[in-house]
Amino acid sequence: MSTTANAATATHDANGKPLTAGHKKVIFASSLGTVFEWYDFYLYGSLAAIIAKQFFSALNPTSGFIFALLAFAAGFAVRPFGALVFGRLGDMIGRKYTFLVTIVIMGLSTFLVGILPSYASIGIAAPIILITLRLLQGLALGGEYGGAATYVAEHAPQGKRGLYTSFIQTTATLGLFMSLLVILGCRLYLGPEAFEAWGWRIPFLLSFVLLGISVWIRLQLSESPLFQEMKNEGKLSKAPITESFMTKKNGRIALMALLGATAGQAVVWYCGQFYALFFLTQTLKVDPTTANLLIAAALVIGTPFFIVFGWLSDKIGRKPIIMAGCLIAALTYFPIFKALTHYANPAIETAAATSPVTVTADPATCSFQFNPVGTTKFTSSCDIAKSALAKGGTPYRNVEAAPGTVATISVGNTVVSSYEAASFTGDAAATEAARFNGELKTALTSAGYPEKADPAQINKPMVLFLLTVLVLYVTMVYGPIAAWLVELFPTRIRYTSMSLPYHIGNGWFGGFLPTTAFAMVALTGDIYYGLWYPIVIALMTFVLGSLFLRETKDVDIRE
């Protein structure tokens, strides 16, 4: 870095001075690279259906899509391992070079997906290489966030770490935006057929340009001044993983950072963005384009508040803002999501009141349909009945039937019999499924249950307001979290110690939210019952964080 930047970053004060050119450079370089990494990571998920056709074409379409989702899930699953691998390197050889490595791995892996021959060209090697590249992406992302947050925080003046690191917190949202915009632009320019045939590769190939920009910018940065000082004094950790998680004091803090900070932050983050979208499109049957535009508008309105709450955490503390976000979210999720139903698809409320739906089944045949990667098949008559209603966003109540009874669905005065999938094969299975689905659809439609939300009945301003409130909860818990995690751990093991709790919290606690919530809804018939998952986790974090984690805003991280 330049002499001016070095001088700027060497100053640690709390005098409220404006950002220097050196500070802006550090924030910009770290944040931009992280935006590009999230862009690369989200491309795969956004194009999973096309990727299934290109690389898993030897399977039937359903199985191919399942394997494509498995590869996507693998990226999330290995994020904590990336946190360990690159966190250890970051604490031993330096922040700058480690998160330079992570962005190179991410960028090259994404670019190689763009030039990877399809299954039709090279056979089984195509999906094997694809999954390998996906695992590399997950490992790289596991190392990127901790490196960027640590690097920025260790450059920040005392009293401004919340503000500085809050810019890192905007990157996941911005990366998602960027991936969706590039995909939409390519699809519109090329047309659907050309895009699915070869144009889908363009967003992946673009990552090579983004990689070049990121590497060029990051090469101009110097090492973190705190890390360099420790290195010069010979105080670097020789076993960061052992010191981080195998010692009583720091291991306890790491566990509390997971359960008392990042777990609640993660479920609020996923609930406010991904589950809200899932609820609108899958439960309330709002047109996907309308739902995506409403979510996007809420994100545009809410994103600046990541910075606001990061700045505010420098004034009043990280802990009270994050704990307040978890508590307020937990207390208001039920009324907010019920209001979303009222304003987005009021016909569901009316139909449920006038023609209630009941599932009568043997409880022993009803499964808890937790299926995060789509590989398990639920074939009992009870599971088929409940899955059909849950996917259709139809609320229902349960009535116990005698053992061995085939499940039935009562819609008002109409009764529809379900079926045991194992009792039918081939054409007979397809015929029985068509019979059941047709009868159920007719019964629900006659009772007033809408197949889709009526655009004329959607109160868009109110839906946008409610979605914006959910995003504001996200900014409360996420804006200050990087500064809090950085300040909880000593410099010598900071990269490792903060990365693992963050990625377990967000990759596992948060990542399982949609599938867990759906399984809970299918089990009970209450379309809001899935909210208990984020509510319980958020309350757990509120209690544990309030009792066992300290406030850190005034901590001198040089000590």
CB of 171 closer than 8 Å to CB of 41: no
Close Cβ partners of 404 (under 8 Å, ≥ 6 residues apart): 362
For 1-12, what is the mean pLDDT?
Answer: 37
Residues 70-97: tens digit of each pLDDT: 676 677 788 899 999 999 998 998 888 8
- The reply to whether 378 and 465 lie within a common domain is no
Among 280-289, 303-312, 349-358, 481-490, the least confident range: 280-289
Give the pairing of strands 408-411 and 397-400: unpaired
Among 446, 474, 490, residue at a domain's last position: 446
Instruction: Tokens 């505010």: give the residue.
Output: 312
Residue 374 pLDDT > 70: no
- The reply to whether 10 and 139 lie within a common domain is yes
Residue 17 binned pLDDT confidence (cut-offs 50, 70, 90): low
Residue 464 binned pLDDT confidence (cut-offs 50, 70, 90): very high
Q: What is the distance between the terminal CA atoms of the chain, rounded to a whole angstrom?
A: 24
Among 48-52, 131-135, 310-314, 460-464, the least confident range: 48-52
Residue 325 binned pLDDT confidence (cut-offs 50, 70, 90): very high
- The reply to whether 109 and 69 lie within a common domain is yes
Which residue in 195, 77, 220, 108 sits closest to 507, CA to CA? 77
Provide the pLDDT for residue 4. Answer: 36
Q: Which domain holds residue 26?
A: 1-236
pTM for the complete prediction?
Answer: 0.84
Residue 454 to residue 367: CA distance in whole angstroms: 33
The CA–CA distances, whole Å, from 287 to 98, 187, 211, 390 equal: 43, 19, 35, 17
Provide the pLDDT for residue 18. Answer: 57
Provide the pLDDT for residue 162. Answer: 94
For 323-348, what is the mean pLDDT?
Answer: 97
The domain that contains 366 carries what CATH number? 3.40.30
Residue 361 to residue 399: CA distance in whole angstroms: 7
Residue 19 binned pLDDT confidence (cut-offs 50, 70, 90): low
- The reply to whether 110 and 143 lie within a common domain is yes
Residue 290 binned pLDDT confidence (cut-offs 50, 70, 90): confident
Residue 12 pLDDT > 50: no
Residue 61 binned pLDDT confidence (cut-offs 50, 70, 90): low
Tokens matching residue 538:
């958020």
Close Cβ partners of 99 (under 8 Å, ≥ 6 residues apart): 30, 33, 86, 90, 143, 144, 147, 148, 151, 218
- The reply to whether 397 and 327 lie within a common domain is no
Residue 100 or 382, more confident: 382
For 304-315, what is the mean pLDDT?
Answer: 96
Residue 102 to residue 86: CA distance in whole angstroms: 8
Burial of 478 (0-12, 13-18, 19+ CB in 10 A): buried
Provide the pLDDT for residue 5. Answer: 37
Residue 8 binned pLDDT confidence (cut-offs 50, 70, 90): very low
The domain that contains 205 carries what CATH number? 1.20.1250.20
Residue 375 binned pLDDT confidence (cut-offs 50, 70, 90): low
* Counts for the chain of helices (H) and strands (E), in that order: 28, 4
Among 53-67, 146-160, 208-222, the least confident range: 53-67
H-assigned helices in 345-478: 346-354, 381-391, 426-446, 460-478
Residue 23 to residue 303: CA distance in whole angstroms: 21
Residue 2 binned pLDDT confidence (cut-offs 50, 70, 90): very low
Residue 252 or 181, more confident: 252
Percent of the chain with pLDDT over 90: 49
Residue 13 binned pLDDT confidence (cut-offs 50, 70, 90): very low
Residue 222 to residue 256: CA distance in whole angstroms: 32
Residue 458 pLDDT > 70: yes
The domain total for the chain is: 3
Residue 60 or 304, more confident: 304
Residue 78 to residue 511: CA distance in whole angstroms: 12
Tokens matching residue 426:
């081939």
- The reply to whether 89 and 111 lie within a common domain is yes
CB of 396 closer than 8 Å to CB of 357: yes
- The reply to whether 339 and 386 lie within a common domain is no
CB count within 10 Å of CB 364 equals 10
Provide the pLDDT for residue 304. Answer: 94
- The reply to whether 18 and 107 lie within a common domain is yes
- The reply to whether 96 and 206 lie within a common domain is yes
- The reply to whether 164 and 30 lie within a common domain is yes
Highest mean pLDDT out of 39-53, 203-217, 336-350: 336-350
Tokens matching residue 425:
């094969």
Q: CA torsion sign, 93 to 74 to 52 to 511?
A: negative
Among 404, 426, 446, residue at a domain's last position: 446
CB count within 10 Å of CB 473 equals 25
- The reply to whether 341 and 381 lie within a common domain is no
Burial of 431 (0-12, 13-18, 19+ CB in 10 A): exposed
- The reply to whether 18 and 75 lie within a common domain is yes
Among 208, 236, 264, residue at a domain's last position: 236
H-assigned helices in 47-124: 48-55, 61-77, 79-92, 95-115, 119-122
Among 45-54, 124-133, 473-482, 505-514, the least confident range: 45-54
Residue 11 pLDDT > 60: no
Residue 165 to residue 482: CA distance in whole angstroms: 6
Residue 25 pLDDT > 90: no
Among 97-111, 316-330, 363-377, 517-531, the least confident range: 363-377
Among 45-54, 187-196, 271-280, 441-450, the least confident range: 45-54
Among 36-50, 98-112, 151-165, 378-392, the least confident range: 36-50
